[in-house]
Amino acid sequence: MERLITKLTEKHVLFTASFAIRLTLVAYGDYQDRTMVVKYTDIDYHVFTDAARFITEGQSPYNRSTYRYTPLLAWLLTPNIYLSMVFGKILFIVCDVLSGLLIYRILRLRGLGSETARRVCSLWLLNPLPMGVSSRGNAESILAALVLVTLLCIEARHLIWAAIFYGLSVHMKIYPVTYALPIALTLRTFETRSEENYKRWRWRRFIGFMGSFLNRELFLFASVAGGVFFMLTALFYYMYGWEFLHETYLYHLTRRDIRHNFSPYFYMLYLTTDSRWSQWLGLLAFLPQLILLLVASWAFYSDLAFCCFLHTAIFVSFNKVCTSQYFLWYLCLLPLVIPHLSLSLKQGVGLLLLWFVGQGIWLGPAYFLEFEGYNTFLLIWLAGLLFLIINSSILIQIVAHYKPTQTSQRLKVE
């Protein structure tokens, strides 16, 4: 068994095999689409392709209803029209395998041995979930690759490249904007506190704290990332107008999906859609997310990969809308965290099973509501709350068993 794992995770074998498996899935998906009633390809892929078709005809991609992404994606997929429908899927699986390579690089930079790094990588490369998502035509792997390359560049201190990729990733999806605080905390001037300094007046410490943000590196990062983001926004606003801003950003910020989804808030938002409390409740629901993100940033900014993982997991779990696609946003960062977890294999597998059980408990009543017409709204609501409790417990276990690298020290509270 051990020899098999070693053989399988040899560098060339691993990356080649993972690409080959994904390619096979794409080919199978094409076959299933042509011959069976239930299609393999996700509806999103057809949305992207239709939007790309509008672009090739010189029109706005937003003519395609439910296209709520950056025009960049539709532009990237124009070869779907000119070359072949399968181009987009190939692009997504390449980004998927690239993400695996980036995970490997980051792990090596953080001091992991080559063999261990490859084994951890295989958790992403040979994982059926990202395989399925990319081969079905979802674009999540592009964002996973962008986030990972940003982290890699920050670890390797190539700040300008990191800023460019960061600006690009925020342009593509809003959620990486939450990483801004931990990145800022990482890049600011860090002053070692001596006894003397600690005894100073509070306001002097506060000024010192605020002042630490004014350093060259942070300024460089902020201006390049901000520049990239605003340039892209300005370009697409010029090309497609208000509709671009609304569909790509504003819709996601004000989105209230009253249809059932994993979010614990779904039923509350559905029942209060037209009530006058709806705005206040929306705002209230935003608070736990905000508080947790602030605490996570401050507690873990020195280990950026772990901090970003926590950020994304918290963001998704406490969000007003949560679908299974969002899980990939933090699953791509999980391999970076795993080598530092002091959980036993049994505990790890137990947590994983718990996560799947939580989803299963939700999916049951959801199926009966959507496809059999039973009124299971209450059960779905309770399952959503349970899923939140499960996610929080898993995150607490991860936080409690995380052993950071040697350069930082954990605060021990006895």
Partner 1 sequence: MYFVLIYALACLSTCHCHFIEKGKNENHCGLLKQWLKSSLVSVEIVKEGFHREVVTTVELSPDVLSDVRVLLVHRWPRGVFVDPYQLASLSDQSDWQILLDSAIDLEVPAHKTVGFVTYVYPSPDGPTPRLLKVTIPIHGRYHEPSFVELLLRTEKCTQLNNKEPYTAVVAPCTPDNSSTCQWVKLQHQQERGAMGVQFPVGDGSLVRPVCGGTLLVTVLCCVALSKHMWKHRIIKQ
- Binding site residues, partner 1, CB under 8 A: 43, 46, 50, 65-66, 190, 192, 258, 264-265, 267-268, 270-273, 275, 281, 284-285, 288, 291-292, 295-296, 298-300, 302-303, 310, 314, 318, 368-378, 381, 385, 388-389, 392, 395-396, 399-400, 402, 404, 407-411, 413
41/135 with CB nearer partner 1: 41
Shortest Å, Cβ 48 to partner 1: 13
236/300 with CB nearer partner 1: 300
Shortest Å, Cβ 310 to partner 1: 7
Distance, in Å, from the CA atom of 167 to the CA atom of 146, rounded to the nearest integer, reads 10
Distance, in Å, from the CA atom of 378 to the CA atom of 124, rounded to the nearest integer, reads 35
Shortest Å, Cβ 292 to partner 1: 6
Whether 365 and 376 have beta carbons less than 8 Å apart is answered as: yes
Shortest Å, Cβ 230 to partner 1: 30
Chain-centroid distance, C-alpha 295: 19
Shortest Å, Cβ 66 to partner 1: 6
Shortest Å, Cβ 118 to partner 1: 27
Token readout for 204 is 């002097």
56/393 with CB nearer partner 1: 393
22/64 with CB nearer partner 1: 64
**Identity at 221, one-letter amino acid code:** F
H or E segment to which residue 243 belongs:
helix 242-245
Convert 336-347 into a string of H (helix), E (strand) and C (coil). HHHHHECCCHHH
Shortest Å, Cβ 155 to partner 1: 15
Shortest Å, Cβ 371 to partner 1: 4
Q: b/e for 187-211, b at 16 or more Cβ within 10 A?
A: bbeeeeeeeeeeeeeeeeeeeeeee
CB atoms within 10 A of CB 325: 14
4/413 with CB nearer partner 1: 413
Shortest Å, Cβ 167 to partner 1: 26
Q: In sequence order, what are the residues at sequence separation of 6 or more whose Cβ sits closer than 8 angstroms to the Cβ of residue 236?
A: 70, 71, 72, 244, 248
125/185 with CB nearer partner 1: 185
Distance, in Å, from the CA atom of 376 to the CA atom of 298, rounded to the nearest integer, reads 40
Whether 234 and 251 have beta carbons less than 8 Å apart is answered as: no
314/328 with CB nearer partner 1: 314
Distance, in Å, from the CA atom of 143 to the CA atom of 147, rounded to the nearest integer, reads 6
32/302 with CB nearer partner 1: 302
Shortest Å, Cβ 63 to partner 1: 11
41/70 with CB nearer partner 1: 41
Alpha helix ranges (H) inside 301-344 = 304-317, 327-331, 334-337
9/319 with CB nearer partner 1: 319
Distance, in Å, from the CA atom of 28 to the CA atom of 344, rounded to the nearest integer, reads 37
- Inter-residue long-range contacts of 256-260, CB under 8 Å, 24+ positions, other chains counted: 256/282, 256/320, 256/321, 257/320, 257/321, 260/366, 260/369, 260/370, 260/377, 260/380
